[in-house]
Amino acid sequence: MSEKIYKTMKQVGAWNIAIGVTLIVLGVLSGVMTIVNGARLIKDKSDIMF
């Protein structure tokens, strides 16, 4: 009985680590994209007219 519980806990832990790593990568990518787009706006701000 306890062996089944440990296997389940192991699988849940592995999934939690995989999801955590994925979220970290997505967060870093979105941050980099935001910085790049902001730099592009600052670079071309003289061309923007309201």
Mean pLDDT value of segment 26-32: 98
Per-residue pLDDT band at 28 (split at 50, 70, 90): very high
Per-residue pLDDT band at 8 (split at 50, 70, 90): very high
What is the predicted pLDDT for the residue at 47?
A: 81
pTM here? Answer: 0.71
CA 21 from chain centre, in angstroms, equals: 8
Alpha-carbon dihedral sign for residues 29, 33, 39, 40: positive
Mean pLDDT value of segment 23-42: 97
The single residue listed with the structure tokens 């062996």 is: 3
Distance CA 40, CA 34 (A): 10
More confidently predicted of 48 and 8? 8
